[in-house]
Structure 1
Amino acid sequence: MYKYSPFSANLLKTLIKGELWFGKIEDLNDPYEGEFQIRDTSKMPSNESIDEFYKNQSSFIIPRPKGQNHSPHIFHKTFSDFVKNTLRSQFGLTCFSKKNNDVLMWSHYADSHKGVCLIFDQHKLLKSLNSIYPDIKLGEVEYNEELPYVDLITSGDNSSFRYSDREKNVLLNKNIKWDYEEEYRLYRRFENDQRRSVPFDLKSLTGIIIGQRMDSEDFNTLVHLIRNSTNLEHLNLYKMTFKSGVLEVGKNPIHLGIIKDLDINISTQSK
């Protein structure tokens, strides 16, 4: 499992502190993140349960004329806005990919090939994150032409209601135009005062792929960090190359022992 990143202070924090940032949906680059459609807008919970919902959500209160039923259109518009606001403000996620050699992803997420691609052991990473937050989930993104659908589900006595599988259907769904990313996501719901930087075991990070355009100073900073950290000494470092119009990862790890300070001549000899 791979994570593209520019060479930045956030990357260095990840490597030094062993933390992953779970960002908000509203900060992602797809404007349709967190959007969904309601399959049956005629389905309604009881008037009493709707009244209770409005009462508890002061920013979404819509007065209802006495003695009349709620409008399905107004209810679903109000409730869906509330759910979308909850998803966007409270849920955090961090993104990965199945592949490490996509030209567009290196361009978009790794500073035009000047950054890196981190290599994670999927199972070790999830296990270490779950030791902090057991409710962190890993899911594979599905790609569709349309926005995902949700259904209104009510309790047996119609006193409570929710939308079906809102996290799975909405958080793990993107437009078909993004399918080249072959994305995985780790996600959970955070309380307002909870830190979104979640510690993980650095042993689950098994290697780093260096972008073919990485600056020499950045490269040497990275090498210096790996050489001088017992938490990173297990890492393999690879160089991304461009051969016959295709991006390829070097077959052999870079031999850090022969790299001199301020020397960008990256060797591909095996360790």
Structure 2
Amino acid sequence: MFKFYSVPCADLIENLAGSLASIKFSSAFNLNDPYELKFNLVIDPTAQEHRKQYFKNHPSDTEEDFLSWQKHAIKHDGYSWYAEQQIRNEIGQSITLCSFTEGNNSNLMWSHYTANHTGICIEYHPELFEFFRTLDGFVGIGNIIYADTPPSVMGLDKLNIIAEKIMFTKQSEWNYEKERRVILRSNNNTDFIQIERKYIKAIYIGSRTPSDIVKRILEVCQNSDIKVYYGITMGKSYEVSFSEHKEGTGYMRAFWE
């Protein structure tokens, strides 16, 4: 699996692939899609189970309080929307997540996630995902399901069932990303999970990556099992292709201005 990175400075390479290698997990509210964790709540206030759930959540309330809630939920269309936001916030504030992708030759991915081909893409060994499973707070790993409408969840569904549906569903427009997502339980805005370098298989350098960053990558990967490749835009097609680094070899990586 692969992960794309923008690299604003060469010093960051040590944190991505050096002895201090780590992977960033972020709150869903920090991601670029404002529709993250969106879903449609299906709620029937007259269902008997809602009465049980209401008094479980409000043990000091009276029957009159419950009937007032029930009447409000039936008459006000905005109630379901408000309840959705409460659930969404509760889930969003209790997890961090990290995204990977199946391939590394998507021009769109290089453009969107590496600051227009000036960053890098790292390939990880499959064993990395087994490592994630051993972490405290591990929630799940799964491929994103792409759909034209948000998932529907029942108002009486358990929170973990709701979370599983909404954390692994995104709008169909994103299907080119072929995303696999890792979820951790966390109240932090951002988590940096340190990993061993043995999980890093290769680094792919963008065709516009600055020379100081390229130099630092080669230094960090020297005397390691991490392979280095250059993104090549030259050739007879639009496809992003790669050439493995070899000492003393020059690479025509991109068009010049």
Q: CA deviation at 1:12?
A: 3.6
Same amino acid, percent of matched pairs: 18
Q: 2:201 aligns to what SS in structure 1? A: strand
| CA distance in structure 2 between the partners assigned to 1:117 and 1:3 by the alignment | 6
Higher relative contact order (CA 8 A, sep 6+): 2
Structure 1 residues 193 and 180, CA, compared in 2 at 3 Å: closer, same or farther? closer
Where in structure 1 are there 5+ consecutive unaligned residues? 57-61, 154-160, 260-264
Supply the AA of the counterpart residue of 2:236. S
Letter of the 2:245 partner, please give it: I
- The alignment status of 1:237 with 2:254, answered yes or no, reads no
Encode CA deviations 1:30-68: one digit per residue, 9 max, x unaligned: 111111002344464343532443579xxxxx9996473
Partner of 2:239, secondary structure, is: strand
Give the aligned residue type for 2:231: M
Residue 6 of structure 1 deviates from its aligned partner by 0.9
Deviation string, structure 1 residues 11-34 (Cα, Å, up to 9, x no partner): 541223122111000111111111
How far apart, in 1, do the equivalents of 2:202 and 2:185 lie? 29
User: Following superposition of structure 1 onto structure 2, how do residues 90-105 of structure 1 map, counting pairs within 5 Å?
Assistant: 90-105=94-109
Checking the alignment, whether the CA contact within 8 Å between 1:240 and 1:247 is kept in structure 2 is no
CA distance in structure 2 between the aligned counterparts of 1:185 and 1:143, rounded to whole angstroms = 13
Q: Give the TM-score, by structure 2 length.
A: 0.82
Partner of 1:59: none
Identify the residue that residue 86 of structure 2 maps to in structure 1: 82
**2:4 — aligned with what?**
4
What is the root-mean-square deviation of aligned Cα atoms in Å? 3.0
**1:184 and 2:188 matched:** no
C-alpha distance after superposition, 1:133-182 (max 9, x if no partner): 372421100111111111233xxxxxxx6357222211111111111111
In 2, Cα distance between the equivalents of 1:67 and 1:5?
Answer: 51
Structure 2: distance between partners of 1:148 and 1:4: 27
Matched residue, 2:209: 214
Aligned pair count?
243
Deviates more, 1:234-243 or 1:34-43: 34-43
Deviates more, 1:63-72 or 1:196-205: 63-72
Distance, in Å, in 1 between the alignment partners of 2:152 and 2:117 is: 37
TM-score by length of 1: 0.78
| 1:21/1:197 contact within 8 Å kept | yes
Of 190, 195, 201 in structure 1, the residue corresponding to residue 196 of structure 2 is 201
Q: For the residues of structure 2 that align with 1:82 and 1:210, how far apart are their CA atoms?
A: 42
Partner deviation per Cα, 1:174-213 (whole Å, 9 max, x = no partner): 11111111111111221x3697212223211100111111
Q: Distance in 1 between matches of 2:201 and 2:2?
A: 10
Question: Whole-Å Cα distance in 1 between the matches of residues 63 and 82 of structure 2?
Answer: 13
Partner SS state of residue 69, structure 2: coil
Runs of 5+ consecutive residues of structure 2 not aligned to the other structure: none
Residue 21 (structure 1) aligns with: 24
Give the match for residue 151 of structure 2: 148
- Decide whether the 8 Å contact of 1:97 with 1:181 is kept in 2: yes
Distance 1:63 1:215 in 2: 67
- Over 3 Å counting, the alpha-carbon distance change for 1:221 and 1:55 in structure 2 is farther
1:234 counterpart letter in structure 2: D
Tell me the CA shift for residue 10 of structure 1.
5.0
Once the two structures are superposed, residues 60-101 of structure 1 have per-residue CA deviations (whole angstroms, 9 ceiling, x without a partner) of: xx9996473423357644542221002222211111111111
CA distance in 2, matches of 1:136, 1:239: 35
Report the CA distance shift for 1:171/1:258 in structure 2 as closer, same or farther (over 3 A). same
Distance 1:41 1:258, change over 3 A: farther
